[in-house]
């Protein structure tokens, strides 16, 4: 939800921290703050709003001499959970003495009782945040060693955290810790960068250590000392980041979302690279690390996810049932984790998550492990918590996704799930020829997506019809039902139009009451099972004078005569058609938001990965 950066070394500490914050701004952007240790003194600036505002304040308030004297610092960009986005609630927060400063990503669940205990011992608080309680606790545990004070304090804490702590008395040290929220340490020559994710580190190094739950570390310019809360040393591997700095720039596009929509042909090519064996008619998913016998023993699949990833899961379900004949459910992760699901050793739970950090999906993974199910992850961020805890899975290789609205991850997630269905299907009901045909179909998807992107101008023109609306419906059937849900989500989250996705057959059971001239309907009429019934549903909408826009398959004259405002996308197989339809809907939502002047990359009230419940 929030973004944390820390730096210790000889470069301009403020520059490193502010550029790191800019890279993490997509995680939360309602307020920000920075603190440096310069000349043995702590200096702090906090502000409401974007990082740009903070940078202005720093430029106005900190002299060059002060900045030059800094050898270490921490910074934070916030997505408020406890206490409104005000300057008092922005991070860093100080302890009672003001000599310890702390930034935090996560939620301290027992902060209420801790605060009352501390107030009982004479502490006074400046903010409504849970985080300030942690700073006071560290200050209270301090006995000359910051590393030990942080470890001691965390023993009293329940909840999730990624924290970075500095103290006036320890200019050469930043103490960090994680439990449930992502945190990594980037290793540089004579320096170190700490961050919530690799996008803030990549400009400095590719050598990173992913901290794990329960880790606390003292980070110094000459090295990192990692221990558990009992101060027992623990060993952590150094990983290599496999993408470069330009990947996190806009590359000439107006928005990251637009760049990522446009990256889909290349991202999808990377997703299938080395995984389609047309001669054997099979998919090679080595990260699954399952023998044919273990795959044959899977009698049920449960896809768990949230948001866009859930809709990708719901789309993949059709392929897993249709191609492999395995009973499959797609479940909202927060529901799955608390529902005491009926799963066992012959079930496979697949956690679908772009960031690999979504709290509810992570908890679903842990629940599945408790139940003895086979667990796999479908993630985009390499080394993310879900990927590590699932311990087997399939990476999307779609490259970093910065725009809060997920786009390229969706299309890669669907393609991965179709490959998974092929892998299971070949062991059950698919012949080599059928498998080979599916390999050819998937190999053609990147080029077909390129052809959808080529219709950008036409889609922008249609978006002008949608932009004035305050609400809209998206309807689909069968494999296109989740695509309708995804189309509505994209429009909702970036343009603030109240869009609802419905299974078209549901309209008559209530929602149709809302239809009138002011409520446009986007109908998914691609030539897959359910199309003919969809034509009837479109007739019902037209009969209520609702403006209808459609997405359909190239050359479909019947649709063209029924719905003049139509986006025609190339024909492909049933299970990959949703990818083409959704790319068209991503562009539609993008242009509606652009026409409405919305902050497309950082929609209000949202954050890229939801690391708290």
Site residues for ligand AGP per CB under 6 A = 306-309, 353-355, 358, 361, 404-406, 493, 609-610
8 A C-beta contact, residue 164 and residue 77: no
- Cβ nearer to ligand AGP, comparing 174 with 489: 489
Q: Are strands 548-553 and 566-569 parallel, antiparallel or unpaired?
A: parallel
Measured CA to CA, the distance from residue 559 to residue 542 in angstroms comes to: 13
CA distance 247 to 354: 16
Q: How far is the CB of 358 from ligand AGP (least distance, A)?
A: 3
Q: Residue 152 or 361: which CB sits closer to ligand AGP?
A: 361
Residues contacting 473, CB < 8 A, separation 6+: 488, 499, 500, 501, 502, 507, 511, 514, 515, 519, 520, 521, 522, 541, 546
φ, ψ at 360 (rounded to 5°): -65, -35
Residue nearest to ligand AGP according to CB distances in the complex? 307
| Cβ distance to ligand AGP smaller for residue 448 or 610 | 610
Distance CA 26, CA 172 (A): 30
Residue 197 Cβ, how far from ligand AGP at the closest point, in Å?
A: 11
Nearest CB to ligand AGP, comparing residues 197 and 527 = 197
Sheet arrangement for strand 174-179: 93-94, 100-105, 161-167, 174-179, 215-220, 223-227
* Cα–Cα distance measured from residue 568 to residue 538, given in angstroms and rounded to the nearest whole number: 16
Residues 6+ apart with CB under 8 A from 375: 348, 349, 350, 351, 365, 368, 369, 390, 391, 392
CB neighbours of residue 363 within 10 Å? 19
What minimum distance in Å lies between the beta carbon of 246 and ligand AGP? 22
In angstroms, the CA 248 to CA 26 distance is 11
CB of 180 to ligand AGP, least distance (A): 14
Q: Which residues of 434-467 are buried (b: 16+ CB within 10 A; e: fewer)?
A: ebbebbebbeebbebbbebbebbeebbebbeebb
CB of 210 to ligand AGP, least distance (A): 16
Query: Beta strands 184-188 and 174-179: pairing type?
Result: unpaired
What number of other Cβ atoms are within 10 A of residue 237's Cβ?
Answer: 8
- Taking the least distance from each CB to ligand AGP, the nearer of 306 and 567 is 306
SS3 191: strand
Residue 519 vs 609, nearer CB to ligand AGP: 609
Instruction: Find, among 22, 13, 48, 16, the residue nearest to 33 by Cα.
Output: 48
Q: How far is CA 404 from CA 34, 355, 494, in A?
A: 23, 11, 9
Least separation in angstroms between residue 405's CB and ligand AGP is 4
In the bound complex, what is the minimum distance in angstroms from residue 77's beta carbon to ligand AGP? Answer: 17
Cβ 366 to ligand AGP, closest distance in Å?
A: 15
Nearer to ligand AGP, 495 or 609 (CB): 609
Contact 216/148 with Cβ under 8 angstroms?
Answer: no
d(CA 604, CA 328): 35
Q: Which is nearer to ligand AGP, 47 or 385 (CB)?
A: 385
**Is residue 187 classed as helix, strand or coil in its secondary structure?**
strand
CB of 105 to ligand AGP, least distance (A): 15
Residue with smaller CB distance to ligand AGP, 276 or 582: 582
Select 360 or 527, whichever has its Cβ closest to ligand AGP. 360
Strand partners, 302: 329, 349
Q: Which helix (H) or strand (E) covers residue 449, if one does?
A: helix 432-453
Q: Shortest gap between Cβ of 375 and ligand AGP (angstroms)?
A: 15
Q: Which residues are catalytic?
A: 2, 608
């Amino acid at each position: 939800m929030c973004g944390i950066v820390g730096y210790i070394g000889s470069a301009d500490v403020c520059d490193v921290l502010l550029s790191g914050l800019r890279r993490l701004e997509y995680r939360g952007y309602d307020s920000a703050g920075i603190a440096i240790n310069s000349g043995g003194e702590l200096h702090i600036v906090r502000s409401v709003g974007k990082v740009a505002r903070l940078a202005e304040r720093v430029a106005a308030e900190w002299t060059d001499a002060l900045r030059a004297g800094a050898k270490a610092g921490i910074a934070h960009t916030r997505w408020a959970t406890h206490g409104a986005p005000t300057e008092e609630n922005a991070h860093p927060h100080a302890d009672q003495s003001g000599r310890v400063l702390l930034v935090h990503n996560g939620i301290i669940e027992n902060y209420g009782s801790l605060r009352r205990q501390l107030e009982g011992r004479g502490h006074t608080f400046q903010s409504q945040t849970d985080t300030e309680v942690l700073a006071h606790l560290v200050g209270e545990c301090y006995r000359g060693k910051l590393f030990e004070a942080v470890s001691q304090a965390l023993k009293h804490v329940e909840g999730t955290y990624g924290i970075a702590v500095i103290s006036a008395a320890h200019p050469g040290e930043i103490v960090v810790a994680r439990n449930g929220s992502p945190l990594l340490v980037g290793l540089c020559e004579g320096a170190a960068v700490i961050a919530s994710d690799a996008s803030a580190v990549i400009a400095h190094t590719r050598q990173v250590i992913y901290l794990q739950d329960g880790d606390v570390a003292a980070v110094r310019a000459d090295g990192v000392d990692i221990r558990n809360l009992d101060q027992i040393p623990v060993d952590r591997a150094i990983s290599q980041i496999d993408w470069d700095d330009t990947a996190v720039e806009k590359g000439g596009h107006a928005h990251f979302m637009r760049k990522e929509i446009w990256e889909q042909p290349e991202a999808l090519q990377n997703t299938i690279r080395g995984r389609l064996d047309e001669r054997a008619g099979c998919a090679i998913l080595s990260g699954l690390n399952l023998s044919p016998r273990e795959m044959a023993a899977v009698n049920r699949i449960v896809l768990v996810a949230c948001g866009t990833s859930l809709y990708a899961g719901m789309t993949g379900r059709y392929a897993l049932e249709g191609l492999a004949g395995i009973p499959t459910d797609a479940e909202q992760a927060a529901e799955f984790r608390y529902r005491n699901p009926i799963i066992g050793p012959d079930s496979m739970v697949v956690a679908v998550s772009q960031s690999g950090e979504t709290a509810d999906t992570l908890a679903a993974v842990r629940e599945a492990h408790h139940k003895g199910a086979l667990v796999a992850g479908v993630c985009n961020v390499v080394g993310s918590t879900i990927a590590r805890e699932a311990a087997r899975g399939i990476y999307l290789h779609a490259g970093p996704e910065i725009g809060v609205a997920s786009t390229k991850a969706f299309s890669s997630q669907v393609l991965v799930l179709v490959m998974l269905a092929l892998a299971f299907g070949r062991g059950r009901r698919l012949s080599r020829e059928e498998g080979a045909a599916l390999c050819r179909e998937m190999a053609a998807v990147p080029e077909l997506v390129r052809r959808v992107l080529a219709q950008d101008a036409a889609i922008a023109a249609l978006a002008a019809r949608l932009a004035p609306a305050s609400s809209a419906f998206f309807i689909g059937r069968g494999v296109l039902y989740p695509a309708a849900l995804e189309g509505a989500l994209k429009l909702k989250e970036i343009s603030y139009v109240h869009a609802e996705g419905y299974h078209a057959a549901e309209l008559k059971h209530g929602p149709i009451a809302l239809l009138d001239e002011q409520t446009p309907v986007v109908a998914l009429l691609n030539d897959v099972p359910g199309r003919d019934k969809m034509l009837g549903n479109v007739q019902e909408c037209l009969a209520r004078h609702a403006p209808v826009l459609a997405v359909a398959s190239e050359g479909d004259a019947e649709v063209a005569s029924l719905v003049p405002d139509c986006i025609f996308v190339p024909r492909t197989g049933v299970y990959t058609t949703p990818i083409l339809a959704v790319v068209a809907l991503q562009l539609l939502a993008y242009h509606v938001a652009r026409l409405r002047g919305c902050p497309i990359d950082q929609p209000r009230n949202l954050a890229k990965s939801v690391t708290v419940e």
